[in-house]
Each structure stands twice: as C-alpha cells, then as structure tokens.
Chains A and B, each alone.
Chain A
Amino acid sequence: MTPEFIQPDLMPALPEMVMLAMTCLVLVVDLFLTQEKRGFTLLLSVATLALTIAAVIIVAPVTEVSSFGGSFVLDQLAVILKISICAVTILVFVYSRDYLADHDIYKGEYYVLGLFATLGMMVMISAHSFLLIYLGLELLSLSLYAMIAFNRNSLSASESAMKYFVLGAMASGLLLYGISIFYGISGTLDLNQLSSAVNSQISQHPIALGFALTFIVVGLSFKLGAVPFHMWLPDIYQGSPTSVTLFIGTAPKIAGFAMTIRLLVDGLGDLQVDWSQMLTVLAIASMAVGNIIAIAQTNFKRMLAYSTISHVGFILLGILSTTANGYASAMFYTITYAITASVAFGVLLVLNRKGFEAENINDLCGLNDSNPWYAALLAIAMFSMAGVPPTVGFYAKLTVLQAVVQVDMVWLAVVAVMFSVIGLFYYLRVIKVMYFDKPLPEQTTTIKEALDVKVLLSANSLGLILLGVFPSGLMAYCVLAFS
C-alpha cells in the first residue's frame, strides 16, 4: 500500500516562497540590465526583503504552527528572528552599494547570493528537523563561500573563501556525524520525536547520547565561532571584501542563534545539564580569547572578528542558564549585536574609496576632524559593543548577566564583567584614534555622501541609543518568544 499523500499547509512557508520567487525574478531581471541600471537590482532586492517581512507579518501566528509533517514550524521566535534577519540584510545591501561600485564588483550576483543566503537562514530558523536545519545551513554556507570569492582578482578573498569552505565543510561533517548518531539512537530526524526519544533513552544510552551531543555542540560552536573553534573567523573577516564581512558579521549570527535554540533547547532539552556545562567552558574561553587577543589587533576588521567571538561568549551565557529568561536575553543580545555590528562595518564601508581600502584602525585617525558625524555614529557603536550605557549594548549585557545570576552563577557573572572590562580597552582605542589623534597627511578623506546610506546609517546608530533607553518593546517580544 502506498502511503497517502497529505497536502501540507503551505501558508506558514509563505515568506520563504515569496522570497524564492522574488530571488529568481531578481536573477532573471538582472541579466537584462546594463551596468548603469544596476541600481534597479538593488531596489528589487530590497523590495524582496521588504515583501518577505510583510509576508512574515501576514502569516504571523498567535500560537506555534507546524507544517510539512512537523519539520517546519512558525512560532514567535521564528517571526521575530526572520524580521530581524531581513531588516539587517536590507541595511547590508544598501551600505554595500558604493563599496561594490568602487571595487568593480557591483554585480547582480552579489544580491542574488545574498538573498539565497537569507533564504537559507530563514529555513534554518523555522526548521524543526535535522534534515531541514542542515539544508538551510548549507544553502547559507554555499552562498557565503561564493560571496567571499566574488572578487576574483583579490588573492586574500580567494584564500578566505577556500579556508571558509574547507573549515565549514568540516564543521558540517561534525554536525552530520552527531546527527547520524542521534538518528541511530532515536530513529527519527524530527526534533519533537527526537526530544521524546531522548527522554526515554536517557537512562539506557547516556554515553552514546553524550557522545552525539558533543559533536552537535562542536558543529554549532564552529558555526557560531566559539573558542576553541573560532580560528576561521578572524581570517575570513579580514580577507573578505568589507561588504561581505558586513554580511557575515551580522545576519548569520541571528541564524546561528536560532539553530542553537532549535537543536539544543527544542530537540535536546533533556540533555541540558550536559550541554550547559559544555557551553560554560566555551563561553568563558570565548570571552577570554576574544577580548584579550582583540587588544593586539591593528586591523579593524580583524579586531571586530575577535570582538564577535567575545560577544558569542556572552550569547552563550544566556543560553547556558537554561531558563526561558536566559534564552530571551540571549536572543535580545544577538539581535542587538547584529544591529550594532552593522553600524561598525557600515561606517567602515563609507570610508572606503576607489583605490583606498579602509580596514586598519589607523585609517580612522582624526575622523572627528574630517567628519564628526560619522565619527559620532561609530563611537556610539563602539560604546554599545563595550556595554556602556545608555546604549543598547549595556542593556543586552544586563539581561544576560541577570539570567546568569538568577541561576546562582554569580561567579560566572563576575568573570563575564571582568572580561568586558578588558574588552572595553580596545573599543576605547578606536574612539581614541578617531577623536584624539590627528588625521594622517595622506588621508584626504573626502567621503562620498550618498544620502540614503547616510540616513540609514544614522538611524541605525541612533537606534542603538533609542533601543538602549527604551528596550522594553523588543525585550517583550523576546520574552514572548520563549513563554
């Protein structure tokens, strides 16, 4: 007897379908555009993302909805994260335009690949089975490999792409290995069924489960960039074109957070004692290595890579507290970090010109003299990353620390704040360079003032203060996602 085909409910996946259709449209339309009309591709890509956001809002459910035999879910978590990812990607696309044009890589493929990567992230967010998570992850990763290598003439970009590809493939392999063992134990790929299977098997196969869990955690750490699986991150950040670094440094963090929550909390919640301990070690190591090594960097992109590593440590702090409150705070942290990082890279992109690649911290010398407005925007982002009030970074740290203290891990909170003091130093150094140093003679900084970039970047940066003063709205959504 052939199994009956059940028509799945397609509505929950409407945003993904809209995006896929539109992305194909962008791909085709771009073929017929001349280089002068490339702006239309950008416009269409932004429209795609905006439409996707609209679709997400339209299908936003009150309670969790699942489809495709339970392997695809749409809940509050997915809604908020998808909107965040699309919004951040809009910023990325707009900020990148002038950089791409200056470096002769202003091609439609950048946007098409970016959209496919975004689609992959959206799939990851909603995926509720191992298979779909992996599909989303690979769609994201393969698009990113191509985006990094996009500038064919750049040796460092090719090197980065190669490195990212090899290490990314290895991480995926580790993840798959863990998945295969879980499949062997539970006989299912669905996270709900896995969860109940783990619950019933936990006393019989503790070692096998722990073994499989280790591989899953290692795979996740690779993708998130937690120490000691972080080595790829600084090289890729530095070697990629800045427009791609901006993309890698923002939206995929949100997707990585979603994947972590889906796998560890939804699927393997019964093993939380084990993964919580693993994450504790990873978090402390990430905060230590990230913050200390960042001090020694002279390349701004590389410094931000190490800063990302330390922020990943903070995000893990929220998750390892294993409370709804902790997950909500980690989610808040991730979203606001992505917004903050887009300001930092965005300002760096603005400073780039034809024939001049702004990427060293010293390239920011005397920015307050030549362009006080952009200096102020970057300073706000730096203070936010350092966690100084009234920026949102402070509030994000507060929520995470609060979650940690709530589960009686005061010592961990003390460790975290001590490392954030160390971290403060290199953020302050950026501000020092911009405000206290005089511009170098060879820097005749004439910044191309594209109005749309300026407006968006200003709103983005001032939003960090606004969110810091009024965090309740976003925080309420984050709490809702885990209630």
Chain B
Amino acid sequence: MYADWPLLSLVIWTPIFGGILVLFAGDKEPSGARKIALVVSLITFLMTLPLYTQFSTSTHLMQFVERHEWIAAFNIEYYLGIDGISMPLILLTSFTTVIVVISAWEVIQYRASQYMAAFLIMEGFMIGTFSALDSILFYIFFEAMLIPMFLVIGIWGGANRIYATLKFFLYTFIGSVLMLVALIYMYAQSGSFAIFDFHHLKLGLTEQILIFLAFLVAFAVKVPMWPVHTWLPDAHVEAPTGGSVILAAIMLKIGGYGFLRFSLPITPDASAELDWLIITMSLTAVVYIGFVALVQRDMKKLIAYSSIAHMGFVTLGFFIVFRIVNSGYGEQGAALALEGGMVQMVSHGFISGAMFLCVGVMYDRMHSRQIADYGGVANTMPVFAAFMVFFAMANAGLPGTSGFVGEFMVILASFKASFWIAFLAALTLILGAAYTLWMIKRVIFGEVANDNVAALTDINKREFLFLALLAIAVLALGLWPDPLVDVMHPTINNLLNHIANPKI
C-alpha cells in the first residue's frame, strides 16, 4: 500500500516544514510549540516504520526510489533511495529525534520553539543525507544540517559555547569543501552527479588517491577520527543535552556512512592502497583516546572521548576488509567486519545518546558535569542509577547489550587479518570498562558526597520514559541483532563484490 507513496520525501520534508511551523508558533506559547514538535516527530517516526516493514531483504538494489530532474543545467537530480546501509540509520534518526524532543520538554525554557524547530529541521536534513543518491543533493543536506546544530550549540550551550560552535562549524566545513571539489571533478569526468555513476567511473590510481584523501578529510572530521577529533569534546561539553545526543547518535554516523557510500565504492583501489592509514588512525583512536578518556574530570568530555574510541571500531571494521580478503578468508569474513562496523554505529547511537541523556538528567539538577561534584547518587536516585549503570555496562561492551555485538564482530573479523590488530582493538574491552566503570564508581556509588547530592530527587515519569525506551533498544539489539544484520546482508555483499574489482 505504500508502494506509490513518496515515503522518503515525506519523512524528509515533514519534519522540516513541521519545524518551520513550530518556529511560527513562537515563544509566546511554548507549550503549544512543544506539543506540535512532539506530534511532528512522532508522525515522522511512524512514517519511517514502513521503510523497515516494507523493506525487501532479497535485493541489494535501492528501494523506495524517487528520481526527478532538478537542475537540468548540471544534470543534478532529486534522487532518493535507501538500502541496507542507510535504512537502519534513518530509523535511528527518527527515533532519536523523538527522544530529544521529550528530553527537552521542561528543561529548555529559553526560546523553546526555536530549540524544537532546530531539531526537527535538522532531522529532515539528516534523513535527507542518508537517503540522497545524488551527490550534490547529499552535499546540500550534509552542509545544511550544520546550520541548526551551529545555532543549537551557540544559543543553548554552556559557558564556552561560542568557541566550541565556531570550531565545530569550521572544522566540518573545511572537510566538506574538499569533498565538493572531488565531486565536481568526478562530474567533469562522468557528466553526472549521481552517486552510482561515480561508483562505476573508471579512475586512475593517482586520481583515486586524491579523491580518497578529499573524502577522508570530510568524513574523518565528521566521524571524528584521530587526529581531527579535537572539535568533538569541545562541542559535546558545551552543547545542550539534545545537541550532544544528536551529535553523538546521528551526526558522527554520517561520517561512517560516507565511507561506505563514497570512499569504498568510488575509490576501492586507493582504499586498498591506503588502508594502513585508516587502520592506524582507528587503532590510535581505540587505544590512545581510550587512555585519554580515563583521565577526564568532566563526564560529558569522558563520554565524548569514549565516542571517538567507539567510532574507531567502526572505521576499523570498514577498512580492515582488504586485509581479510588478502588473508584468504574471502568475502564472508570481510562481510563480518563491515556488518560489525554498521552494528556498532547503530548501537553507539543508542548508548552514547543514553549516556548523554543521563548526564543531562544529573546536570539539570546539579548544574555541574564534574565527576568530583558527585558521589553516591545511587542513594538518592536509585531508579536513575539503575539506568545509568545499565548504559555504562553497555558502553563497556557487556555481552547481552548492543555494545557487545558490534565490537565482538569487528574484533573477530580483525583476527582474520592480523593477530596484532585484533589484539590492539581488543584492548578496548579493558579500557572501555575501565573509564566507564570508574566514572560510575565515582559518580553513582559510594557515600553521599555532599549536600547537593543528598538533595537530589529521582527521575520523573518523562525522564523514565526516554531512558526506558533507550534501554529497551539497547537490550533488544544486544540479545537479538538479526533483524538489523539481515537487512544489511545483500547490500554489504554487493558492496564487497564491487570493491573486489579494481577500477583502474
């Protein structure tokens, strides 16, 4: 019944126009603006569900395709479609936006309508990024989402917000403009901006390496990979809770998605040639950033560094495939690494979002993010403590939670490539547990540290609601990841077939 509906367009434009509606609802009636925002985000979420239920797992071809001429002079099309890589991320986006709207309900008092509108408009842009199949369309969504995020951090952020948000915007922009030049270059070669035409475009090795590096700058900043990660802790610390959640849960994933959609299929030979570079950067993120996380005093900063470390797993999983194939394990082993990276992305979306929400819940009461200001929160907020400990366990990769699945798949696959890579990657199981649980020990457990903690009240129904929703997602994905992995299979296999053939 949904076959002829332009479902993707609907899920992109409903939140954008809904956001504009919220904007016009104005600040005079913030409760009305909140209600509209909630309704819009819920409708959008419900509309993304058919993308999953109607999704066919028997083909690697794009589904729900919409293709219209847009800018004829440059052969730019309004071309949308999803496959097994983008569909889970779209669901993640619409789910997370609902959570963010609920989480900001009473917390944001200053210009609430603008806050809600920014997140709704951002949701539309992010879904657009995941579903665009024309590279200029992709680029427009990719860039446009910076504007609302820039404003969210700058308006509702912490003390040092202006530095953080300018850094965030400039870092991301500098990466993406190089990508733009690469896209235009490929357009000059192929006469089309469609991503699939780029996939099949013959390119020499030097060209491929330059294009690969341009994409690398764009996506590595977004992921973020060591050593271009420094904007992330700043942005996370200063952003309001909702901003941190969207940033960690969705925006970082766009970098990972870009590697799968652009770098690997467009420049497979350069990727094979330079995989050592990505693997080194990823392992550095996993090990070095893990140690950096250990010494943080600010909870948000700690989670930000833990995000970087976890995203290192994603990029490791994506780029270790060449070594796995070369070691004679074939595409079956390589598929494990790619799927592991994908699962890790989705799982990290839930877990890091939940961790930032937990910090947000405490911050709303204490107005401090410093670990030293807390201690013994479990005594005064037992329900909350249960949630936070659960999410911390997931962050540390406890089996049974979604955090375990992705990491385990990537480590398992890495063993096929090299023992030492797998060894270094596996260090995260120790480091992750160390920095997360040590923080939990200092914040949640122990004696009540001070009067402020003693005065804390436990979470209300609204806070319970969004934490419970996330906990269910984390647990479900951890216990039964098949529904997620199954939808990816055909796409991942096709991708591996594609990159196995040299383009030169």
* Residues of A near any B CB (own CB < 8 A): 368, 372, 383, 388-390, 394-395, 398-399, 401-402, 405-406, 410, 413-414, 417-418, 420-421, 424-425, 428, 431-432, 435-436, 471-472, 475-476, 479
Contacts and interface: CB of A to CB of B under 8 A. Distances in A.
Interface string B124-147: 000000000000100111011011
A413 B71 contact: no
A390 B166 contact: no
A389 B161 CA distance: 23
A421 B71 contact: no
A394 B74 CA distance: 14
Nearest to B151: A435
Given A389-B144, A414-B178, A435 B184 contact: no
A479 B73 contact: yes
A410 B184 CA distance: 9
B37 to A, nearest CB: 17
Given A389-B143, A425-B166, A417 B71 contact: no
A398 B136 contact: yes
Interface stretch (B50-58, B168-176, B256-264, B283-291): B168-176
B150 interface: yes
Contact of A406 (B139, B151, B174, B188): B188
B185 A424 contact: no
B187 interface: yes
Given A424-B173, A428-B169, A472-B72, 6 more contacts: A414-B178, A417-B178, A421-B170, A428-B150, A432-B166, A479-B73
A472 B70 contact: yes
29 contacts: A368-B155, A388-B143, A389-B143, A389-B144, A394-B140, A398-B180, A398-B184, A401-B181, A401-B184, A402-B184, A405-B181, A405-B184, A405-B187, A405-B188, A410-B181, A417-B177, A417-B178, A421-B173, A421-B177, A424-B173, A425-B166, A428-B166, A431-B150, A431-B151, A431-B154, A432-B166, A472-B71, A475-B71, A476-B72
B178 A436 contact: no
B387 to A, nearest CB: 33
Interface residues of B, number: 34
A410 B185 contact: yes
Contacts, number: 88
A414 B183 CA distance: 12
A383 B144 CA distance: 10
Contacts of B108: none
A389 B73 contact: no
Contacts of A399: 73-74
Nearest to B137: A389
A424 B169 contact: yes
A437 to B, nearest CB: 8
A361 B217 CA distance: 33
Interface of B: 70-74, 114, 136, 139-141, 143-144, 146-147, 150-151, 154-155, 161-162, 165-166, 169-170, 173-174, 177-178, 180-181, 184-185, 187-188
Contact of A436 (B162, B181, B184): B162
A345 B141 CA distance: 28
A372 B161 CA distance: 20
A389 B154 contact: no
Contacts of B173: 388, 421, 424
Nearest to A369: B111
Contacts of B151: 431, 435
Give the one of B136, B141, B166, B180 with max A CB within 10 A: B180
Q: What are the 7 A-B residue pairs with the smallest beta carbon separation, nearest first?
A: A417-B177, A389-B140, A436-B154, A405-B184, A421-B174, A389-B143, A475-B73
A290 B114 CA distance: 34
Contacts of A435: 151, 154-155
A420 B177 CA distance: 9
Nearest to A412: B181
A475 B136 CA distance: 16
Contact of B71 (A406, A414, A471): A471
B177 A383 contact: no
Given A394-B143, A428-B150, A471-B71, A414 B181 contact: yes
A388 B151 CA distance: 14
Contacts of A372: 114
A391 to B, nearest CB: 9
Contacts of B143: 388-389, 394
A424 B139 CA distance: 17
A394 B136 CA distance: 11
A202 to B, nearest CB: 30
Given A410-B185, A413-B181, A472-B70, A388 B144 contact: yes
A413 B180 CA distance: 10
Contacts of A475: 71, 73
B211 to A, nearest CB: 11
B185 A390 contact: no
A432 B74 CA distance: 34
Contacts of B169: 424, 428
Contacts of B166: 425, 428, 432
A402 B139 contact: no
A436 B155 CA distance: 5
Contacts of A428: 150, 166, 169-170
Nearest to A328: B73
A394 B177 CA distance: 11
A329 to B, nearest CB: 9
A418 B146 CA distance: 18
A402 B177 contact: no
B180 A405 contact: no
Contacts of B114: 372
A424 B168 CA distance: 12
Contacts of A413: 181, 184
B184 A390 contact: no
Contacts of B165: 432, 436
B156 to A, nearest CB: 10
A89 B499 CA distance: 56
Contact of A389 (B74, B139, B150): B139
B73 A401 contact: no
A398 B188 CA distance: 13
Contacts of B136: 398
A121 B75 CA distance: 34
A476 B69 CA distance: 14
A417 B73 contact: no
B75 to A, nearest CB: 11
A417 B178 CA distance: 7
A383 B169 CA distance: 12
B268 to A, nearest CB: 22
Contacts of A383: 147
Contacts of A417: 177-178, 180-181
Contacts of A402: 74, 184, 187-188
Contacts of A472: 70-73
A479 B140 CA distance: 23
A273 to B, nearest CB: 21
Given A402-B184, A421-B170, A435-B155, A390 B140 contact: yes
B188 to A, nearest CB: 5
A435 B114 CA distance: 11
A76 to B, nearest CB: 15
Contacts of A420: 177
Contacts of B185: 405, 410
A413 B182 CA distance: 10
Given A435-B154, A436-B161, A476-B73, A424 B188 contact: no
A428 B170 CA distance: 9
A425 B163 CA distance: 12
Contacts of A471: 71
Contacts of B146: 388
A417 B217 CA distance: 14
B170 A390 contact: no
Nearest to A404: B184
